[in-house]
Amino acid sequence: MLKEQLSSDPNWWKKAVFYQIYPRSFKDSNGDGIGDLPGIIEKLDYLNGTPDSLGIDAIWFNPFFVSPDKDHGYDVADYCDIDPRFGTLEDFDRLVEECHKRGIRVMLDLVVNHTSDRHPWFQQSRSSRDNPYRDWYIWRDGRDGGKRPPNNWKSHFSGPAWTWDEKTGQYYLHSFLKEQPDLNWFNPEVRKAIYQVVRFWLERGADGFRLDVAHAYCKDQQFRDNPPYHQRLKLKGTVPLRERSLEMVMLNILGAPKYHLPETHQILREIRNILNEYPAKTSIGEIQCDDPAVVASYYGQNNDELHMNFYFDLTNCHKWKAAAFRRYVDRWEKILPEWAWPAYTFSNHDVVRAISRFGKGEQADRRARLLALMLLTLRCTPFIYYGEEIGMKFLSLPKKLRQDPVGLRWYPFHPGRDGSRTPMQWNRSRNAGFSPGEPWLPLGPEWEKRNVEVQEQDPASLLNFYKSAIRLRKSSPALQEGSYRSVAEGMPESCYVYLREGEDQKMIVALNFGSGSVKLDLSPWPGAKQLLLSTDHRRGEETLKGTLELGPEEGCVLQLER
C-alpha cells in the first residue's frame, strides 16, 4: 500500500509543478457524462505515484461544491458540501487520502466574492429588509425614485451590475451573473462565516486555496460612478480583434465596480493568518488588473497576504515573439519584491488554449513544446492545464452547443470558454475514454491522436516531452529555486535566452521563436556546455563549446561547466 508521501517543507509550493483539473471534464465514473471525484481518483496514477506518471506535485481543482450551475460551479449554494454530480464528502476525503499517498497536494477553488442566489444566506437576505442576513449582501436604493440602478457599474458578464428585487424594493449588487450576488465583506459576520469555511476544508486535509477574483472582495463604499468608458479603455495592441471583447469582459474595463481597496488586503492578511495556523499550506490569487504593480501588491508589504499570484500577461499573450515573452517576464521579475515567488500558466478554463492561440498543424505542436519548456524552466511555480500535456486544442462551438454564460451572452464576438473545457482525452475508445455516456460537451479536435494512450506509446510525443521536462526540473536545484536573468545582448532577435543559477549549478535556456534556424554565440560562457534537453526529440546529449544551433521553434536547456 502507498503511504502518505508529503514533504513537511513549508515552501513546498515553490518547487512544485501544479496541474489544474476542471472536475466535470476529467473523468466520469458513473456514465452521466459529467466528470466526478471518483473518476479523478481512478486517474491519479496518471498524474503521480508510478515511474510512468506525469510527475506533478499538486492539483488545483475548479469548484465542485453544491451549485445550481449557472456558472459551472462558480455560483456556490453550500460551501461545505460536494455537489451530488461530483460525489460526496466521503469521496472528497478519499480523494485527499489518495492524492497524499502519491505526493500530490490538494488545492481548492475558494469562490467567496459572491454566492449563488440559491444560497441560504441570500435567501434570508432577500426575504425582508430587516432580516439579520440583509447586510450580508450589498443592497442599495435606486436613483430617480428607485427606477434606475444605484450607479453605472457593469457586470463582467454584460449589463448592469445591479438587479431589482421587487419584494424588498431595492437593488442588489452582482459583479457577474444576477444569480451570483456579491457578499458584503465589510460585514464582520460575513468574514467570520467565510473563515469557518476555510477552516472546514483545511481540517479535511486541503493544502491550500486558489482565491477567485480576490481583488474584488471589497467595493467602493461611496458607490460612485465609474469614469466614462473612453477614459479607461486601454486594450493591449497585441490582442487580436476577435479576442478584445473577451478582454473587455474579463479585465474590468466596461465599468466594473471599483476594486483593489485597502480593506481587501486586510482580508487577505486574515486568511493568511488562518493558513499559517496549519502546517505547509499555501494560496494563490486571481488578481485581474492591467497594472502589474497592483497585482504584485497582493503578496503583501511583509509577505503576509497571498503566497502566489497568477501573472495574466503571459496567459493572455497572443503575440508569438521572443521579445514579447521576455518583456512580460522581465517586467514581472523587476516589479516583484525580492521574497515574492511568481506563478505562471499559459492556459486555463477562461482562455483559449495556448496551442490553439499560437498556431496550426505541426507549427502548433512545435510551439506547444517550446511553451512547455519555457513554463517548466522559468523561475516560477508552473501550472499545467489538464490536457495541455497531450496538446488538447480549443473547440469552436456553435451557439446551440454552448453552455458557458459568457460565450452565450457575447456570441459571436468571442469564442467563449466551453472550447477550453472539453472532456479529457484518455484513449481512442468511445468518447475518448472519458465517459460511457454522452459527454456534457463534445470532444475536442483530433482526439483520436491527441490522447493519453496514443502518446504514452510514442517516445517522441508531447506527453513524453512534458515528462522529461518535469523530471529535469525536479532534478535541478537551479531550475527549482535558482535566480533568473534574461540575456538579450548578442542574441538573435528571434531568441529568448535566460540564465538560471543556483548554488552549485548554472543553466542556460535558449528558446527560438523564429521559423528558421539560428546560431547562438556561447563564448560569453567559457567552458563546456552539456545539452540536457531539447524540444527536438531527434537530438541526443551533446557537449557544446562555441555555438549552439537551434532549429525552427526549438528550445534547449544547457548546463554550464562550473
Domain chopping of the chain, boundaries:
12-112+187-471, 120-173, 482-560
CATH superfamily ID and name for 120-173: Oligo-1,6-glucosidase; Domain 2 (3.90.400.10)
**Residue 229 scores a pLDDT above 90:** no
Cβ-count burial 390-411 (b if 16+ within 10 Å, e if not): bbbbbbebeeeebebbbbebbe
Q: Looking at the domain 482-560, which fold is it?
A: Immunoglobulin-like (2.60.40)
Tell me the pLDDT tens digit for each residue of 247-276.
333 334 444 557 899 999 999 999 999 999
Given the residues 144, 166, 203, 277, select the one marked as catalytic.
Answer: 277
Average pLDDT estimate for 535-546 = 90
Do 181 and 172 meet the contact criterion of CB atoms below 8 Å apart? Answer: yes
Determine the Cα–Cα distance for residues 279 and 146; give it in Å rounded to an integer: 51
User: From the centroid of its chain, how far is CA 97?
Assistant: 24
Facing residues of 499 across strands? 485, 508
Amino acid identity at 38: P
Q: 25-39, 143-157, 329-343, 372-386 — which is least confidently predicted? A: 143-157
**Residue 201 scores a pLDDT above 90:** yes
For residue 2, the model assigns a pLDDT of: 55
Q: Which residue has the cell 449582501?
A: 137
Mean pLDDT across the chain: 93
For residue 257, the model assigns a pLDDT of: 59
Cβ atoms within 10 Å of 271's Cβ, excluding its own = 24
**Residue 1 scores a pLDDT above 80:** no
Given the residues 36, 212, 404, 553, select the one marked as catalytic.
Answer: 212
Cell numbers placing 304: 503576509
Determine the Cα–Cα distance for residues 63 and 61; give it in Å rounded to an integer: 6
For residue 541, the model assigns a pLDDT of: 84
**Residue 456 scores a pLDDT above 60:** yes
For residue 231, the model assigns a pLDDT of: 52
For residue 227, the model assigns a pLDDT of: 76
Q: Let me know if 553 is a catalytic residue.
A: no
For residue 248, the model assigns a pLDDT of: 39
**Residue 233 scores a pLDDT above 90:** no
Tell me the pLDDT tens digit for each residue of 494-519.
999 999 999 999 999 999 999 999 99
Average pLDDT estimate for 129-140 = 98
**Residue 295 scores a pLDDT above 90:** yes
For 443-529, where are the alpha helices, taking DSSP H only?
452-456, 462-475, 477-481
**Closest-CA residue to 58 (of 278, 283, 277):** 283
Q: Please, which pLDDT band fits residue 3 given cuts at 50, 70 and 90?
A: low
**How far from 55 is each of 45, 307, 495, CA to CA, in Å?**
9, 23, 29
Q: Let me know if 448 is a catalytic residue.
A: no
For residue 271, the model assigns a pLDDT of: 99
**Residue 209 scores a pLDDT above 50:** yes
For residue 236, the model assigns a pLDDT of: 39
Cell numbers placing 545: 563549446
This prediction's pTM: 0.94
Do 154 and 175 meet the contact criterion of CB atoms below 8 Å apart? Answer: no
**How far from 144 is each of 147, 358, 382, CA to CA, in Å?**
6, 50, 51
If you ran DSSP here, which 8-state letter would residue 307 be given? S
User: From the centroid of its chain, how far is CA 354?
Assistant: 13
Determine the Cα–Cα distance for residues 39 and 52; give it in Å rounded to an integer: 19
Nearest-10 Cα torsion for 333, 336, 342, 346: -60
Do 48 and 55 meet the contact criterion of CB atoms below 8 Å apart? Answer: yes
**Is domain 12-112+187-471 annotated with CATH 3.40.50.1820?**
no
Please provide residue 83's backbone torsions phi and psi, each rounded to the nearest 5 degrees.
-60, 135
- The H or E element that residue 325 is part of is helix 322-335
User: From the centroid of its chain, how far is CA 83?
Assistant: 22
Please determine whether the domains at 120-173 and 482-560 fall in the same fold group of CATH: no
Do 456 and 425 meet the contact criterion of CB atoms below 8 Å apart? Answer: no
Cα atoms in the 13 Å half-sphere on the side-chain side of 316: 23
Q: Classify strands 18-21 and 381-385 as parallel, antiparallel or unpaired.
A: parallel
What is the percentage of the chain residues whose pLDDT exceeds 90? 84
**Residue 340 scores a pLDDT above 60:** yes
Average pLDDT estimate for 166-177 = 96
Cβ-count burial 491-521 (b if 16+ within 10 Å, e if not): bbebbbbbbbbeeebbbbbbbbbbeeebebe
**Closest-CA residue to 325 (of 271, 447, 333, 392):** 333
Do 500 and 47 meet the contact criterion of CB atoms below 8 Å apart? Answer: no
Q: Please, which pLDDT band fits residue 244 given cuts at 50, 70 and 90?
A: very low
Cell numbers placing 456: 504514452
For residue 211, the model assigns a pLDDT of: 99
Q: Classify strands 58-61 and 18-21 as parallel, antiparallel or unpaired.
A: parallel
Size of the chain, expressed as the number of residues it contains: 562
Cell numbers placing 220: 467602493
